[in-house]
Structure 1
């Protein structure tokens, strides 16, 4: 088997929890921007004017002018473009930028003591780890997407046996057996490479495209662990240059988003189950902030509602999170700071190694008061 890495783009690092923790460690206040760039090239001037209007509004609200100037340069340099530009600035410089592919989501700008990460985390959960395998009878092209990756790692797998061609005088039955043996060997090699790829990005979604018979051989040789623990789906297209890549990319994006929604549904199911006496669920502002202050939360579920004006307090340490400022006991590390409740909860979750699941307003089964989670221990 030959396994070639054609390109390795670490796009996932741009939205990875470690990167976001580094951003949270920076000194605020922050200006957070989600700017839609989905305009035609001839409309770049309109987009620039739209940005200047947003920046002017932030300036009137008291946002740091140096941060706004740095963001203006970054936004204008990115035009014309596609997708959403997520950018976070503090202390007069842009601290982090992520290009978020996908449809427009509406401009959003905020200034506050913390970066507003919920839209970025929501985008990330719509892009769970997955692997795409475009197969034929000689091997496969693999696309490895880590969770939140903006670009895949691309690999080519070439099986140990060459394509079997019909030779003059070779009986049909003998030719068929030789060909099927060759395809079996190549499918086994692809299955082995796929299992390693799924483990590498911790993916539980596998999408197959390409030759129908090759997919059948491959599915046969997937290990029981993959068949039982990974959702296997189908998308269109082949390894040849047939113009199907664009359609396949759209199908892959839709399948990945569907997998993300299923993960959210599973979390809500677990929340309902763990609400029982002795369970590991917490919900409501008071209990959830208490669990975050104790470092007990494994997965935070929080509603992102732009109309939600509730606030909480945070201090220098990851577990410094409070409903009221008088609950904070200074230890020489700095004062408590007031910020949006959801941003405070997300900060504490990320800095203590918890996962975060962002819920839309009015999500059925959401935790009370839009804030809750699953704890590591009761």
Structure 2
């Protein structure tokens, strides 16, 4: 499950022509996320000589840089998937980080930015790099939020196609029971977050009323908040969760979506009658 809230995690890759070190930056202390080294059998430094043998040597150096960039790109993709990071930042050697960026798969490259600060050498961490990381996290969250809300607006009931998005406790409970929630949207302060629902032993045993839960096969359903029950269901079905910023109380023209603070983009939908 991807929890994209106020503080998305960022994977930082510090690269040079011999390899890369990866770390994960989120709300807690920075965590090591692995490293990769290039092939030490090949040269990594070139000379300025114009002699043929030296030109041949420089070609080997260029090939080594290219090979290392490919190794770093593959390792970064693996680290990105394993850590569940949202954006990624490439720092370090300018030529190598650009070569790595060009070799990333499209899905990872689209959320990866480069920084002119920091590197692999001891003591090369810098405040400017941390600022670049924070900026990447904020910008990723902003884009993710806008994309989700655009999809939500386009997919709500009232369009002339199947409903791809729902809001409100009744519709969300039904979608959760059928494992149809792809991205759960929560807006803090919404009135529906505190609504009472009934839950059973498994995450998809969720209902609006006690009688509905009994109909689903639960003799002793318990009371739960709607947001907690839906988060439990989302975690069990590997749905994404997006925590939206609170509505701007000072801007009366701002459309508060989803209504009530709970909504979802669906994995699949029913044809509307």
Same fold by TM-score greater than 0.5: yes
**Correspondence 1:335 to 2:250:** no
Residue number in structure 1 paired with 2:257:
366
Q: What is the alpha-carbon distance in structure 2 between the residues aligned to residue 369 and residue 184 of structure 1?
A: 57
Structure 1 unmatched ranges of 5 or more:
1-15, 18-120
- C-alpha displacement of 1:373: 0.7
Residue number in structure 1 paired with 2:91:
209
Distance 1:174 1:281, change over 3 A: same
Distance 1:207 1:176, change over 3 A: farther
Q: What is the alpha-carbon distance in structure 2 between the residues aligned to residue 327 and residue 272 of structure 1?
A: 30
TM-score, normalised with respect to structure 2: 0.75
- C-alpha displacement of 1:247: 4.1
Residue number in structure 2 paired with 1:263:
144
Q: What is the alpha-carbon distance in structure 2 between the residues aligned to residue 358 and residue 265 of structure 1?
A: 12
User: Which of 312, 315, 331 is the matching residue for 2:200?
Assistant: 315
- C-alpha displacement of 1:330: 6.1
**Correspondence 1:185 to 2:69:** no
- C-alpha displacement of 1:155: 0.4
CA contact (8 A) 1:282 1:288 kept: yes
RMSD: 3.5
**Correspondence 1:326 to 2:211:** yes
Distance 1:314 1:189, change over 3 A: same
**Other structure's SS at 2:214 match:** coil
Q: What is the alpha-carbon distance in structure 2 between the residues aligned to residue 237 and residue 196 of structure 1?
A: 19
- C-alpha displacement of 1:302: 1.9
Residue number in structure 2 paired with 1:231:
111
Per-residue CA distance 1:103-123 (angstroms, 9 max, x = gap): xxxxxxxxxxxxxxxxxx565
User: Which of 138, 153, 166 is the matching residue for 2:33?
Assistant: 153
- C-alpha displacement of 1:259: 1.5
CA contact (8 A) 1:268 1:365 kept: no
- Between the two proteins, the alignment pairs up a number of residues equal to 253
TM-score, normalised with respect to structure 1: 0.56
Residue number in structure 1 paired with 2:251:
none
Residue number in structure 1 paired with 2:252:
none
**Other structure's SS at 2:232 match:** helix
**Correspondence 1:194 to 2:81:** no
**Other structure's SS at 2:235 match:** helix
Q: What is the alpha-carbon distance in structure 2 between the residues aligned to residue 257 and residue 208 of structure 1?
A: 16
Q: Which structure has more RCO (C-alpha within 8 Å, separation ≥ 6)?
A: 2
